[in-house]
Amino acid sequence: MNKLKEFFKKYKHMWVLSYGFIYLPWFVYLEKTVTQNYHIIHAPMDDYIPFNEYFIIPYMLWFLYVAGVLLFFLFKNKEDFYRMCAFLFSGMTIFLIVCTFYRNGTDFRPAIDPDKNIFSAAVAALYQTDTCTNVFPSIHVYNSIGTHIAILKSDYFKNRHGLKAASAVLAVSIILSTVFLKQHSVVDVAGAIILSYIMYGIVYGFSWSTQNKKVTEKVLE
């Protein structure tokens, strides 16, 4: 019991993760209610992007990528953790607000033969569990960019060029997977990139002095 108390005392900044109790119920509500009378998002470029079931691999790796890096900073560096959370959670909240007032979705998912191969079966399962609504801006894209930015801005990864390169490759692969799996339109991707640019300026763009960092850390403790 004492060890458990010490753990929560040392990592009390994990309280930020309680945001999940706001995001998940809201997102589930949107998935269950936005089923008709929504705006179809489509761009001519979408028609030139072929479906490729093998992109299910990086698409699913997104969960490990984002969660893994977030947990790493939780235990490794409190300031990096707070900044990553600020970036991700603010964008995710904007996404929820947008989808609440701008009901949106896509209509270009192809018919999938789950017996073709294991990858097609995985995509078929994804289509059954994840609706084609609430797609703008793409959270897969936004959080991938946010996770890579968190790595680039962390002093821990400053001289770890191999890890930064691997993160870049994975982030780009995830972004590409959203359109090659027909989960998103290029419009959703563009929206996520623009939102990332704006939130980067807010969360990481300020040049904080050492004193300001100490004050901020004191407030967040």
| HEC per residue, the chain | CHHHHHHHHHCHHHHHHHHHHHHHHHHHHHHHHCCCCCEECCCHHHHHCCCCHHHHHHHHHHHHHHHHHHHHHHHHCHHHHHHHHHHHHHHHHHHHHHHHHCCEECCCCCCCCCCCCHHHHHHHHHHHHCCCECCCCCHHHHHHHHHHHHHHHCHHHCCCHHHHHHHHHHHHHHHHHHHHCCCCCHHHHHHHHHHHHHHHHHHCCCCCCHHHHHHHHHHHC
pLDDT tens digit sequence for 68-88: 999 999 999 999 999 999 999
Which pTM does this prediction carry?
0.91
pLDDT tens digit sequence for 111-154: 999 999 999 999 999 999 999 999 999 999 999 999 999 999 99
Residue 185 confidence class, pLDDT cut points 50, 70, 90:
very high
